[in-house]
C-alpha cells in the first residue's frame, strides 16, 4: 500500500471502541457509494475511473503531450479550481516547485485564468514573448469567468503570433457535447479532450484535466493511473480494521464531532504546497455545506512552525493535524563539519538532512499531541507517480465517505454561486438589474 495510516499518536484523543463504533455508519456510506443511490450520485465517475478510463483518449493525451514537448517552449494552462489545482499540484510534487527554473527537456508550464488579476496575466504574457507557445484551456462548463477572460486574451496573442496555425497549438479540455466551449472548439478546429459528465471538477485530476499538463511536464501518467487503480482495489473493502482510507474518514469525523473543526494537512516538503491547495478544494468544496464541515487548512513544516507553530501548540483547541510523512526525499544532503562551529551545529556532522527533517517531524508530533492537538499520520515511502495516483484516489474516496458520514452531498457546490451572482450584478450583466440595485444600496 503506497499510503498507510498511522494512528498511534491519536490514543489520548480517540479510543479504539469509538472508531469501531462507526462501522455501521461507514457501511451505510460505503453502500451509498457502491449502489450509487446517495446524494450527488450523478457524479460518481471517479470511483472506477482508474480502471475504466478511456484508453483511446489516454493515447491521444500522450500524443498531444509529445507534440507540445516537440514544438513549444511554453505551455500555458488556463483553468481554475478543479480545472487547475490537480495538474499544478502533481507537477510541483513530482518534478519540483522550481520546475520552470530548473534545466530540463520539457516546456515551461505557466498557469493562467486562476484569478482575475491583470498583473498575473500580463506577467505570463510577458514570459511568452519570443517563445513558441501552446495553450491548454480547461473548463468543464466552458463559461467560468476567470479562464474565459484569460482565454480571450491568449487567443488574441496566439492569433497574432501564429495566424491560422494558432489552432494547431490550442488544446481544449471540456465537456463532451454540451457547453459553448466544445462547440466553439469544433468550429475553430482545436483538438479537444473530454471531462466525463459524471466526474466533477475537483475529482477530475485523473482525467485529461490533469493528465495532459502533467504529461507535458514529462511525468509518467501511466504510473499515476496504476497507482490510482491499486488504491481503488485496496480501498474497496468496507472494514475499518484494514481499510486505511475509511479509517481516516471515520477518525476525522469523530474528531470533528468532538469540536476539532479544523483539519491541518501537514507536510515537511515544500513541493507539497500545491497538493495542500488541491486537498483544500477537495474537502472544502465537498464538505463545507448545510452549515457543516471540517475546515481544511494546511501548513508546510518546518517553515510554518516559525509562523503558525505557536497557535497549533497553544492556541484554541479546535485543530487536528493530518501529517503526510514522505519517508524518502527525492534528494538528500549530508551535514559537514565546520571547524568554526559558529552555529553550534557540529553535533549534526555526518547526518543527512532527511534525518534531521524526520526528527523535526517526530518532535513536533509529540509536542503538538502533548499540547492537545490530535495527530494522524499518512505514511508514504517515496513520492513518485504511482504514490501520487494512490494518494489522489485515497483522498477522493475518503472525502466521499466522510461527506456521506456527515449527511451532505459531497459532489455539489451550490455555495460557489453566491459571489458570481453579486459580481455579475455589480458588473451590469443583462438580467441582473434588480440584484444590482439591491447591492448598490448596500454598498452606499
Ligand atoms: O470542483 C469544481 O466543480 C469547481 O472548482 C470547478 O472545477 C471550477 O469552478 C472550474 O469550473 P469549470 O471547469 O467549469 O471552468
Tell me the pLDDT band of 178, cut-offs 50, 70 and 90. confident
pLDDT, averaged across the chain: 96
Residue 190 backbone zone (phi > 0: left; psi -120 to 50: alpha; other: beta): beta
8 Å CB contact between 310 and 363 = no
Which residues are CB-contacts of 262 (< 8 A; sequence separation ≥ 6)? 294, 295, 296, 297, 318, 319, 320
8 Å CB contact between 13 and 255 = yes
What pLDDT was estimated at residue 143? 87
Closest CA to 360 of 309, 298, 320, 307: 309
Q: Using CB atoms within 10 Å of the CB of residue 360, give its burial: 0 to 12 exposed, 13 to 18 middle, 19+ buried.
A: middle
138 to 82, 181, 319, 321: CA distances (angstroms): 9, 10, 35, 33
Catalytically annotated residue among 129, 233, 420, 433:
420
Pocket test for ligand 1, best of 42, 140, 289 (most atoms within 8 A of CB): 140
Kindly report, residue by residue over 361-407, the tens digit of the pLDDT: 999 999 999 999 999 999 999 999 999 999 999 999 999 999 999 99
Active site residue 306: yes
Which residue has a Cα nearest atom 8 of ligand 1? 81
Q: What angle do CA 319, 94, 401 make, to 5 degrees?
A: 45
Active site residue 420: yes
Which residue has a Cα nearest atom 2 of ligand 1? 201
CA separation for the pair 159, 190 (Å, rounded): 13
Ligand 1 atom nearest to 195, measured from its CA: 13
The arithmetic mean of pLDDT across residues 311-339, rounded, is 97
* Ligand 1 center to 109 CA (angstroms): 20
Q: Is the CB of 200 under 6 A from ligand 1?
A: yes
* pLDDT reading at 410 higher than 90: yes
* Ligand 1 center to 119 CA (angstroms): 23
Pocket test for ligand 1, best of 86, 111, 144 (most atoms within 8 A of CB): 144
Which residues are CB-contacts of 305 (< 8 A; sequence separation ≥ 6)? 360, 364
Pocket test for ligand 1, best of 114, 139, 201 (most atoms within 8 A of CB): 201
Q: Is the CB of 141 under 6 A from ligand 1?
A: yes
* Ligand 1 center to 140 CA (angstroms): 7
Q: Is the CB of 87 under 6 A from ligand 1?
A: no
pTM above 0.85, yes or no: yes
φ, ψ dihedrals at 236, nearest 5°: -100, -10
Q: Specify the DSSP class assigned to residue 263.
A: E
The arithmetic mean of pLDDT across residues 238-246, rounded, is 96
Kindly report, residue by residue over 97-145, the tens digit of the pLDDT: 999 999 999 999 999 999 999 999 999 999 999 999 999 999 998 889 9
Catalytically annotated residue among 269, 285, 321, 396:
285
302: cis peptide before it, omega within 30°?
yes
Closest CA to 292 of 411, 409, 420, 419: 409
Q: Is the CB of 204 under 6 A from ligand 1?
A: no
Q: Is the CB of 86 under 6 A from ligand 1?
A: no
Half-sphere exposure of 65 (CA within 13 A, CB side): 23
* Ligand 1 center to 80 CA (angstroms): 6
8 Å CB contact between 112 and 76 = yes
Kindly report, residue by residue over 42-51, the tens digit of the pLDDT: 999 999 999 9
Catalytically annotated residue among 17, 55, 160, 306:
306
Which residue has a Cα nearest atom 15 of ligand 1? 139
Amino acid at each position: 500500500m503506497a499510503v498507510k495510516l498511522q494512528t498511534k499518536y491519536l490514543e489520548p484523543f480517540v479510543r479504539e471502541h469509538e472508531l469501531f463504533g462507526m462501522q455501521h455508519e461507514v457501511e451505510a456510506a460505503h453502500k451509498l457509494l457502491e449502489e450509487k443511490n446517495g446524494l450527488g450520485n450523478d457524479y460518481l465517475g471517479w470511483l472506477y475511473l482508474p480502471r475504466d478510463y478511456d484508453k483511446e483518449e489516454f493515447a491521444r493525451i500522450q500524443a498531444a503531450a509529445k507534440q507540445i514537448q516537440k514544438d513549444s517552449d511554453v505551455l500555458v494552462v488556463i483553468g481554475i479550481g478543479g480545472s487547475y489545482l490537480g495538474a499544478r499540484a502533481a507537477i510541483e510534487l513530482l518534478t519540483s516547485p522550481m520546475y520552470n527554473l530548473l534545466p530540463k527537456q520539457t516546456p515551461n508550464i505557466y498557469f493562467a485564468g486562476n484569478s482575475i488579476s491583470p498583473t498575473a496575466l500580463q506577467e505570463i504574457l510577458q514570459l511568452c514573448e519570443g517563445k513558441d507557445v501552446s495553450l491548454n484551456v480547461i473548463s468543464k462548463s466552458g463559461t467560468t469567468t476567470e479562464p474565459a477572460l484569460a482565454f480571450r486574451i491568449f487567443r488574441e496573442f496566439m492569433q497574432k503570433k501564429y495566424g491560422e496555425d494558432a489552432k494547431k497549438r490550442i488544446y481544449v479540455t471540456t465537456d463532451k457535447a454540451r457547453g459553448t466551449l466544445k462547440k466553439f472548439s469544433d468550429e475553430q478546429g482545436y483538438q479537444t479532450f473530454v471531462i466525463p459528465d459524471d466526474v466533477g471538477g475537483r475529482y477530475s485530476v485523473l482525467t485529461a484535466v490533469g493528465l495532459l499538463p502533467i504529461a507535458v511536464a514529462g511525468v509518467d501518467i501511466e504510473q499515476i493511473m496504476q497507482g490510482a487503480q491499486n488504491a481503488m482495489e485496496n480501498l474497496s473493502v468496507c472494514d475499518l480494521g484494514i481499510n486505511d482510507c475509511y479509517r481516516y474518514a471515520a477518525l476525522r469525523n469523530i474528531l470533528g464531532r468532538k469540536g476539532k473543526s479544523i483539519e491541518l494537512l501537514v507536510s515537511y516538503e515544500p513541493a507539497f504546497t500545491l497538493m495542500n491547495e488541491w486537498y483544500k478544494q477537495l474537502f472544502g468544496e465537498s464538505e463545507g455545506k448545510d452549515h457543516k464541515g471540517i475546515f481544511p487548512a494546511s501548513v508546510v513544516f518546518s517553515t510554518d512552525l516559525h509562523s503558525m507553530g505557536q497557535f497549533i501548540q497553544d492556541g484554541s483547541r479546535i485543530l487536528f493535524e493530518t501529517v503526510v510523512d514522505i519517508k524518502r526525499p527525492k534528494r538528500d544532503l549530508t551535514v559537514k563539519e565546520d571547524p568554526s562551529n559558529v552555529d553550534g551545529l557540529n553535533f549534526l556532522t555526518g547526518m543527512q538532512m532527511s534525518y534531521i527533517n524526520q526528527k523535526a517531524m517526530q518532535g513536533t508530533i509529540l509536542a503538538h499531541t502533548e499540547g492537545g492537538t490530535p495527530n494522524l499520520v499518512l505514511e508514504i515511502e517515496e513520492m513518485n507517480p504511482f504514490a501520487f495516483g494512490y494518494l489522489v484516489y485515497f483522498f477522493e474516496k475518503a472525502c466521499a465517505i466522510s461527506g456521506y458520514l456527515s449527511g451532505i452531498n459531497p459532489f455539489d457546490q451550490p455555495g460557489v454561486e453566491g459571489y458570481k451572482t453579486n459580481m455579475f450584478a455589480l458588473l451590469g450583466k443583462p438580467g441582473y438589474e434588480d440584484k444590482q440595485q439591491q447591492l448598490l444600496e448596500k454598498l452606499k
